[in-house]
Amino acid sequence: MSEYLPGLAGVPATKSNISNIDGEKGILSYRGYPIEELAKNSTFEETCLLLLDGRLPTAAELSDFDEQLRDNRQVKYHIRNLMKTLPESGHPMEMLQTAVACLGMFYPGNECLTGADSCQDLDYIHNMTVKIIARMGTFVAMWEHIRNGYDPILPRHDLPYAENFLYMLNGKEPDPLLARIMDVCLILHAEHTINASTFSVLVNGSTLASPMSVIAAAIAALSGPLHGGANQKVLEMLKEIGTPDRAAAYVDKKLANKEVIWGMGHREYKTKDPRAKILQGLMAEFMADRGGNLNPMFEVAKEVEKVCEDRLAKKGVYANVDFYSGLLYSEMGIPADQFTAIFAIARSAGWLAHWREQLSDNRIFRPTQMYTGEPVRKYVPINKR
C-alpha cells in the first residue's frame, strides 16, 4: 500500500476475534455477545474472563478468577509510599501511569519475554493479567485519599470488584443500585476494538515489553481528550451551557466556529453509540431511584443531544459513550478528574486481552513512511553557513 491515510483511518492493523463494531447498525459485541446482553446479565469479572479466554466461563471458572482478583487487590507499602511523594495536584491518569509502570519493579516476572518464540505460557500471561486488573481499581481509589492527605482505605476481600472499588473510594459500602451501575459502566468500557490506546498495546506488546510497561503506555494514550478524556470535557461543557434553553445557541456557535462538541460523534458509529443508550437509561434509573430529583445537568444534556441530532444526524453524528458517562459519575459523587481513570480500570481487561492475542502470533510492528523531506545533500561547515 502506497497511499498515505492520516491516522491510519480504515487501515487494518491486525486480526482479532475479541470484539466487533457494526457502525451502521450501532452494534458492539464482545466475543459475539451484544453489549446490551452483557450489561443486563453479566458482571465485570465475568466480562473480563470472556474477553481474556474467548468464552463465557463456567461457575467454577468464574469463582476461581474472582478469587484471584480479590487475592491481588492489595499493593506493597513501597508503592503506597511512592504514591505519597507524587504532587497532590497531579492528574489521576498521571498517577495511574506511574503506579502501573512501577508495578514490574515490585512484582517482577518477565521471564517469558525473552525472544520471538517465547510468550506462549498461558499461565504466565494469565497471572500477570490478574495482577494488573486487580490493582487498577486499588490505585485509583487509593489516590483519591492520598492526594487529600489521608491514608488509603484497604480493599475488602468480601466485596466484588465494582463494589469494592466504590467502598475504597468513599469509605462506605455503596447501595446495591450504585454498585450495579458501576459494574455496568466497567462492562461498557472494557473493550472497543483497535482504538488509539489498544493500538499502543499492540505496538508495545510486539516488542515484548513487560505487561506493566504495555499498560502504562495504553494509559498514556487514553489520557488524551480526544480519547478517554472526553467524558470530563463533556461535564465541563454542560456546566458552561448551564440551562437547557441555552443549548441551541451554544451548539450553533460551536458548529459555526468548527469547534468540538464534546461527547458527539464517533469514527466507528453512524448512529447513536449503543453504550450511550445504556448509560442514558442508567441515568434515568438512578434519578428515578432518587425520587425523580433530576440533576439539572441531565436536562441540559438531553437538550444538547436533541439539538445535535437535529443539526448533525444527517452527517451520522450522534452521542457517544462519553456524553453520559461523566454526568453519571458526577451524580455518583466521583470527582471529574477521576472519570478517565475509571475508564482505564475497565479498559485494562480489553487491553490485556489484546496483549495476549498479540503474543499468540507476534511480529514486531514496523510501519513505513512517506518521506517529504530534503533530498540527499552535502553537510555545510558552520563557518560557511
> In whole angstroms, how far apart are CA 342 and each of 63, 140, 158, 162, 190?
24, 7, 21, 10, 10
Sign of CA dihedral 53, 54, 59, 62: positive
Q: Nearest 10 degrees: CA dihedral of 335, 174, 64, 215?
A: 0
Name the DSSP class of 263: T
Angle at 185 between CA 180 and CA 186, to 5 degrees: 100
Question: Which candidate, 141, 146, 153, 137, places its Cα nearest to that of 84?
Answer: 146
> Which cell is 22 given?
457494526
Which of 322, 337, 354, 361 is catalytic? The answer is: 322
> In whole angstroms, how far apart are CA 304 and each of 22, 236, 301, 315, 320?
25, 13, 5, 16, 13
Which of 266, 273, 337, 354 is catalytic? The answer is: 266
Active site residue 78: no
For 378, other C-beta atoms within 10 Å of its C-beta total 4
In the beta sheet, which residues pair with residue 34? 29
Contact call for residues 178 and 282 (beta carbons, < 8 A):
no
- Residue 31 half-sphere exposure toward CB, CA atoms < 13 A: 18
Active site residue 266: yes
Name the DSSP class of 56: P
Contact call for residues 351 and 218 (beta carbons, < 8 A):
yes
Q: Which residues form the catalytic set?
A: 266, 322
